[in-house]
Structure formats: structure tokens, C-alpha cells
């Protein structure tokens, strides 16, 4: 049998199962979480409507319009090359989300698989996997990414690869600790006694009961690639300089912020609002999915 998501590992039973409806209701009752949802929705809608709201292309250069302040024709002004800041901002947010979603999806898949299999079976595989995890955790994330990007050069695939080397370790550690506390629960022992295969126990009994913690962790981890892309692109080691990413926008215009504040302020504000939105939603999900915080 499978225990509800909200069950505690010690008893395998929950006083009140955590359903999707209850999670949604808890989020909507949390003003802070609602604020995060609204912030993120504004950012997503703004980016999604890019081609429909702006008549300009993100790569269009007009040196005659260099550093034009916000106006009717350019609501957020122009940058050093006369490119429309609002247009580039819309596409930059898309790129940031693409980096975050691709990186975290692969990291989640790799980390959860390694953490689940290693902690369930134990033995040599678990020891080797955790030693590899510890070796990556010993390096500061930004320094590791800088080293990889300096060797491989700017590019979307290289950036995702550089971030993955560190990102998957958090999921592996998290899932391992969750599985170690769940695998001796009554419902898992009952499944073993009934002759259920180990693979089914792992994926149908243990993993669903750790899913709440994983969802919260993933939500809070999504801003990491966004910030990393901005930092690496700002240093010229992230995405190619002609890519309309948020980090590249700040990189090109940061030296002229005194004269053209809009060219740097709006990309920085987009990063801040996106990260804040994810963090507020993550906190709300944690409160909704962790039964120990609902008492």
C-alpha cells in the first residue's frame, strides 16, 4: 500500500492526507505565497507577450537612438547600441527561464535517481555516489562554473553543463536523507513482506512520500541558475554577448548607469522579482506540504 504524501515516516499514517486541493487552498490562504504567485505571473506574462507588445527585434541596432530615456516609443528606454530595452528584457526573461528549467529538470532527474537507488540499496554504490557528491559539494558553485565556462567558452549547452555539475548534488543529498527515514516505515515493510519488487517499492511507495520535500527544494532551487547565468554573463563567461540575456544586458551597460540608469535597472529588477517570486512560492509550498508546520 502507499501512504499519503503528508504521512510521517515514523508511523506511515497521516492525520489528514495532503491532497492537491489542500495544497492549492493552503497556498491561496497564504498572503506571502499569493504575492509570490502574482509576482511570477506578472514576469511570465510580460515575457510571453513580448512579440505582441513590442514592434522591435531584440537584436535591432540603431546607433542614432543610443541611450534614449523611457518614452512612448521606447517605454523602458534604449541601450548602448540603441536596442529597445523592453524588447530585450522580454527575451532575456525567456532565456533565464529556459536556463533554469533545463538545468533543474536534468539535475532533479539525475539527483533523485542517484539518491533514491543509493540510499535504498546502500552498499558500495551508495558509498561511491556519496563520495562523488561530497567532492562536488566541496567546490564553491560559482568558482566551479567559472572554471568550466573559462575552458569550454560561452554557450547555452556549456552553461547548463557547468551548472549541472553542482546542482544535482543537492537533490541527491536531500532524497538520500528522506529515503533513509522512510524505507523502514510500516507501509514499506508491509510492501516488502507482500513480495512487492524493490523497484516498485522505490518508485511507487517511497518516492511519492518524499515528493513534497523535493517539490519545495526544486522551487527554491530554480532561482539559482537564473542568478548564475546573470553573474556569468556579466563576466562575459555565460551566454554569447549578442544573446539578449539579463546578464548580458547588465554587462553591456553597467559602466553607463550614471547616465542611463534604465538600461541596467530594469534587467536587475526583473532578476530580483523573479527570484523573490520563486522564494515566496517555495516558502508557501513548504508550509503547505510539511504537516509538522501546520500544527
pLDDT truncated to tens, each residue of the chain (295 aa)? Answer: 444 444 444 444 343 445 677 777 877 888 899 999 999 999 999 999 877 888 888 888 888 889 999 999 999 999 999 999 999 999 999 999 999 999 999 999 999 999 999 998 888 988 999 999 988 888 888 899 999 999 999 999 999 999 999 999 999 999 999 998 888 888 888 888 888 888 888 888 888 888 888 999 999 999 999 999 999 999 989 999 889 999 999 999 988 888 899 999 999 999 999 999 999 999 988 888 765 555 4
The b-or-e profile of 4-42 (16+ CB within 10 A means b, else e) is bbbbbbeebeeeeebeeebbeebbeebeebeebbebbee
Residue 145: the pLDDT is 92
Reading the block at residue 293, the C-alpha cell is 508546520
C-alpha 15 chain-centroid distance: 32
First to last CA, the chain: 26
How far is CA 283 from its chain centroid?
14
* Confidence at residue 291, expressed as pLDDT on a 0 to 100 scale: 53
Residue of 220, 219, 268, 235 lying closest to 145 (CA atoms): 235
Ramachandran class of 245: left when φ > 0, alpha when ψ lies in -120 to 50, beta otherwise = beta
pLDDT score of 16: 43
What's the pLDDT at 271?
96
pLDDT at 155: 93
Distance of CA 270 to the CA centre of its chain: 15
Report CA 193 to chain centroid distance, whole Å.
39
| Nearest CA among 81, 57, 51, 85 for reference residue 70 | 85
Contacts of 252 (CB under 8 A, 6+ apart): 79, 80, 81, 241, 263
Based on C-alpha coordinates, what's the Rg of the chain? Answer: 23
| Torsional sign, CA 168, 171, 174, 180 | negative
Domains of the chain: 20-57+72-293 (1.10.3720.10)
- Interior CA angle at 226 toward 247 and 218, to 5°? 180
pLDDT at site 18: 55
Residue 34's contacts (CB-CB under 8 Å, 6 or more residues apart) are: 27, 28, 284
| Alpha carbons 186 and 170: distance in angstroms, whole number | 27
Residue 12 phi/psi, 5-degree rounding, is 75, 10
**Can you give the pLDDT at residue 292?**
54
Amino acid at each position: 500500500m502507499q501512504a499519503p504524501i503528508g504521512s510521517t515516516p515514523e508511523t506511515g499514517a497521516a492525520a489528514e492526507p495532503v491532497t492537491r486541493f489542500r495544497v492549492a487552498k493552503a497556498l491561496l490562504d497564504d498572503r506571502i505565497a499569493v504575492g509570490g504567485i502574482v509576482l511570477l505571473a506578472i514576469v511570465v506574462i510580460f515575457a510571453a507577450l513580448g512579440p505582441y507588445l513590442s514592434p522591435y527585434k531584440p537584436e535591432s541596432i540603431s546607433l542614432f537612438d543610443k541611450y534614449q530615456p523611457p518614452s512612448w516609443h521606447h517605454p523602458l528606454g534604449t541601450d548602448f547600441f540603441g536596442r529597445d530595452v523592453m524588447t530585450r528584457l522580454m527575451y532575456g526573461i525567456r532565456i533565464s527561464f529556459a536556463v533554469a528549467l533545463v538545468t533543474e529538470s536534468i539535475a532533479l532527474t539525475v539527483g533523485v535517481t542517484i539518491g533514491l537507488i543509493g540510499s535504498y540499496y546502500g552498499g558500495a554504490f551508495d558509498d561511491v555516489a556519496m563520495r562523488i557528491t561530497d567532492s562536488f559539494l566541496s567546490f564553491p558553485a560559482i568558482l566551479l562554473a567559472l572554471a568550466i565556462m573559462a575552458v569550454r567558452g560561452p554557450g547555452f549547452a556549456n552553461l547548463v553543463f557547468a551548472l549541472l555539475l553542482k546542482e544535482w548534488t543537492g537533490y541527491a543529498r536531500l532524497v538520500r536523507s528522506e529515503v533513509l527515514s522512510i524505507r523502514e516505515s510500516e507501509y514499506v515493510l508491509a510492501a516488502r513482506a507482500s513480495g512487492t519488487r524493490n523497484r516498485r517499492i522505490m518508485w511507487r511507495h517511497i518516492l511519492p512520500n518524499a515528493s513534497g520535500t523535493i517539490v519545495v527544494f526544486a522551487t527554491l532551487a530554480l532561482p539559482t541558475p537564473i542568478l548564475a547565468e546573470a553573474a556569468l554573463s556579466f563576466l562575459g563567461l555565460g551566454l554569447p554577448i549578442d544573446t539578449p540575456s539579463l546578464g548580458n544586458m547588465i554587462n553591456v551597460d553597467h559602466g553607463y548607469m550614471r547616465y542611463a540608469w534604465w538600461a541596467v535597472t530594469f534587467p536587475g529588477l526583473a532578476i530580483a522579482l523573479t527570484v523573490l517570486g520563486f522564494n515566496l512560492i517555495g516558502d508557501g509550498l513548504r508550509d503547505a506540504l510539511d504537516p509538522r508546520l501546520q500544527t
